């Protein structure tokens, strides 16, 4: 495979390549966009999909920066695809997805498209060591344009509530770079004075602290007036900060909670709550619009037509017969007795008729590449399908311990009958995990929802990078499949199109999907940013 992850010594060389690579003619009138901390490209994908009233693309991704090797490989391939007009990717790309062509062979067939991708998707770790190269890179690619956008968000682990609870015991917690990586974002603002920027981060930032002070208050202050954080920043550089959801948001001091965007209110099939801060340079007399609310599709509507597959057995030889044998043990549980008279006990006992539920309905295969083309009614879901696609990628079930399989079966059946995901207190005792804190969970003191079913007729819970761990929080709603979500299902709930290829091992694919911005939410944000840039005078 071709080298796609340059070292720092190659940055200058890549910058020279970038300076000599013209943008595709069909994007020549588009606004440049620089995407940092890009991950697998969720924000960039959304911006690439934004079009004006004539159907011409609003943005051209001139620089995307990501340091993770597998995310960068995903990003590079997507930049290769974006060289071609939307819907006109070469047929060889679909051959590659089917396994009939290697990535290296495809890149060799289209050297100009590959060179364009190499000159716009960079594997760089932002920091003092790369500052000069990144500065030159952005200068070369943005050029003299007065209308462009900076987008992205620093890694969020140190800001997330779960992340902080796990890290507080570390001696180096206060010095962790993830507290202050936003300063690298701020340095780019100072260096290049973008007319507009969009910064994304987790909702947990609202309660995070840095050196005992509110992290979001500090960040808002620094973004508004960069010289408070960056020595030598121009005194005339300032930004007005806006929410994407509050139409009448006053300028000046703002309540940071107003920056939170609830994705499910804007057509995304997922209860994903993230902060988006839009900054408009202080000399520009422009205000951004706000997102328009729309109903979101349900989990069933989003992933229900993907091929049914079963989970696998880990720590034991797997086969359909062995899988069924392990699940069959659930029929030996006296459900009514162990549920101690719970109102749902009778219904559950009937629903867990093993022969009807599993032996008749369960699929035998653990993965499927069968792609079924549909034309759903919801605009967001329609955007995920590709009528040129003949195979489904990344739709492979995990393997689980037999004891977890029985818990998944019970949990999905419970959700089907009650309309809610079970807490630990709702499990029969023989299905409880052998954890020392399980009793605390049963009494609601901690992690009572250790096994969480994604309810069929609601939006999903937040798809996070934790999905790369064990799948317990992401159980499929169909009891007969008895498994956690696949990478493709998670990608669907994140609104990545079905033709989006994620590089690396499956665990890394989950990680990429969980950390990304939903592309269909990003597209709506891009439309707002495009309106801002159209309003910027030519002489600014």
Give the model confidence (pLDDT) of 358-388 as tens digits. 676 788 899 999 998 888 889 999 999 999 9
pLDDT surpasses 60 at 446: no
State the Rg of the chain over Cα: 24
Tokens 């930032």 appear where?
Answer: 205
Residue 526 maps to a domain: no
Residue 312 maps to a domain: yes
In this structure, the answer to whether residues 117 and 182 fall within a common structural domain is no
Give the model confidence (pLDDT) of 321-363 as tens digits. 899 888 888 878 888 888 877 888 888 877 777 666 667 678 8
Predicted pLDDT of residue 316: 86
User: Of residues 189 and 171, which shows the higher confidence score?
Assistant: 189
In this structure, the answer to whether residues 175 and 312 fall within a common structural domain is no
In this structure, the answer to whether residues 227 and 371 fall within a common structural domain is no
Which 8-state DSSP code applies to residue 333? Answer: S
Q: What's the pLDDT band for 157 if we cut at 50, 70, 90?
A: very low
Taking residues 80-100, report their average pLDDT: 96
End-of-domain residue from the set 97, 128, 145: 145
In this structure, the answer to whether residues 212 and 345 fall within a common structural domain is no
In this structure, the answer to whether residues 341 and 263 fall within a common structural domain is no
Residue 2 maps to a domain: yes
Predicted pLDDT of residue 436: 62
pLDDT surpasses 80 at 437: no
Residue 377 maps to a domain: yes
In this structure, the answer to whether residues 388 and 486 fall within a common structural domain is yes
Q: What's the pLDDT band for 166 if we cut at 50, 70, 90?
A: very low
Residue 539 maps to a domain: no
In this structure, the answer to whether residues 239 and 303 fall within a common structural domain is no
In this structure, the answer to whether residues 134 and 196 fall within a common structural domain is no
Structural domains in the chain (count): 3
Q: How far is CA 258 from the centre of its chain?
A: 22
Q: What is the CATH number of the domain that holds 150?
A: 3.40.50.150
Q: Which of 465, 494, 41, 524 is nearest to 299 (CA)?
A: 494
End-of-domain residue from the set 145, 177, 208: 145
The span from the CA of 408 to the CA of 402, in Å, is 10
Residue 389 maps to a domain: yes
Predicted pLDDT of residue 105: 97
In this structure, the answer to whether residues 166 and 303 fall within a common structural domain is no
pLDDT surpasses 60 at 173: no
In this structure, the answer to whether residues 80 and 151 fall within a common structural domain is no
Write out the residue range of the structural domain in which residue 51 sits. 1-145
Residue 529 maps to a domain: no
End-of-domain residue from the set 271, 294, 317: 294
In this structure, the answer to whether residues 477 and 462 fall within a common structural domain is yes
Give the model confidence (pLDDT) of 250-266 as tens digits. 555 668 889 999 999 99
- Cα distances from 218 to residues 36, 209, 226, 376, 528, in angstroms, run 21, 9, 11, 44, 26
Residue 531 maps to a domain: no
In this structure, the answer to whether residues 216 and 227 fall within a common structural domain is yes
pLDDT surpasses 80 at 442: no
Which residues is 149 bridged to in the sheet? 33, 196
User: Of residues 175 and 242, which shows the higher confidence score?
Assistant: 242
Residue 246 near residue 290 (C-beta atoms within 8 A): yes
Predicted pLDDT of residue 539: 66
């Amino acid at each position: 495979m071709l080298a796609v992850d340059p070292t720092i010594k190659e940055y200058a060389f890549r910058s020279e390549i970038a300076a000599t690579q013209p943008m595709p003619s069909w994007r020549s009138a588009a606004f440049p966009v620089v995407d940092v901390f890009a991950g697998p490209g969720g924000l960039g994908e959304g911006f690439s999909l934004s079009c004006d009233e004539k159907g011409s693309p609003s943005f051209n991704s001139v620089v995307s920066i990501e340091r993770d090797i597998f995310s960068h490989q995903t990003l590079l391939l997507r930049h290769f695809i974006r060289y071609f007009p939307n819907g006109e990717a070469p047929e060889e790309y679909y051959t590659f997805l089917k396994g009939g062509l290697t990535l290296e062979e495809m890149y060799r067939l289209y050297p100009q498209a590959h060179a364009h991708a190499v000159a716009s998707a960079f594997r760089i770790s932002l920091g003092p060591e790369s500052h000069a190269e990144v500065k030159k890179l952005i200068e070369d690619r943005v050029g003299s344009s007065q209308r462009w956008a900076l987008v992205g968000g620093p890694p969020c682990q140190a800001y997330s509530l779960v992340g902080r609870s796990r890290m507080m015991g570390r001696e180096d917690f206060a010095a962790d770079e993830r507290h202050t990586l936003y300063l690298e974002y701020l340095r780019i603002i100072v260096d290049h004075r973008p007319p507009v920027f969009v910064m994304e981060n987790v909702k947990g930032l609202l309660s995070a602290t840095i050196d005992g002070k509110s992290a979001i208050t500090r960040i808002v202050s620094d973004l508004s007036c960069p010289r408070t954080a960056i020595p030598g920043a121009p005194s005339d550089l300032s930004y007005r900060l806006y929410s994407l959801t509050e139409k009448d948001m006053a300028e000046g001091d703002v309540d940071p909670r107003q920056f939170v965007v609830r994705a499910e209110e804007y057509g995304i099939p997922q209860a994903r709550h993230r902060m988006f801060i839009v900054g408009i340079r202080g000399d520009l007399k422009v205000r951004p619009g706000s997102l328009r609310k729309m109903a979101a599709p349900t989990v069933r509507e989003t992933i229900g037509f993907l091929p049914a597959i079963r989970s696998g057995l880990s720590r034991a030889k797997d086969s359909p017969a062995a899988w069924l044998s392990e699940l069959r043990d659930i029929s030996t549980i006296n459900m009514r007795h162990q549920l101690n008279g719970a109102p749902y006990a009778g219904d559950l006992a009937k629903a867990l008729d093993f022969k009807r539920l599993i032996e008749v309905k369960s699929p035998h295969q653990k993965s499927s590449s069968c792609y079924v083309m549909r034309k759903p009614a919801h605009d967001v879901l329609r955007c995920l399908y590709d009528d040129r696609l003949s195979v489904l990628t990344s739709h492979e079930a995990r393997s689980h311990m037999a004891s977890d399989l029985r818990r998944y079966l019970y949990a999905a059946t419970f959700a089907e009958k009650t309309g809610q995901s079970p807490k630990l207190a709702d499990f029969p005792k023989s299905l409880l995990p052998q954890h020392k804190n399980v009793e605390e969970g049963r009494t609601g003191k901690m992690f009572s929802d250790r096994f969480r079913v994604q309810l069929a007729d609601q939006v999903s819970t937040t798809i996070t990078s934790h999905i790369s761990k064990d799948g317990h929080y992401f159980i499929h709603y169909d009891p007969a499949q008895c498994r956690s979500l696949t990478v493709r299902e998670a990608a669907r709930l994140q609104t990545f199109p079905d033709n989006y290829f994620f590089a690396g091992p499956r665990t890394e694919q989950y990680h990429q999907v969980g950390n990304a911005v939903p592309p269909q939410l990003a597209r709506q944000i891009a439309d707002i940013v495009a309106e801002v840039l159209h309003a910027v005078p030519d002489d600014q």
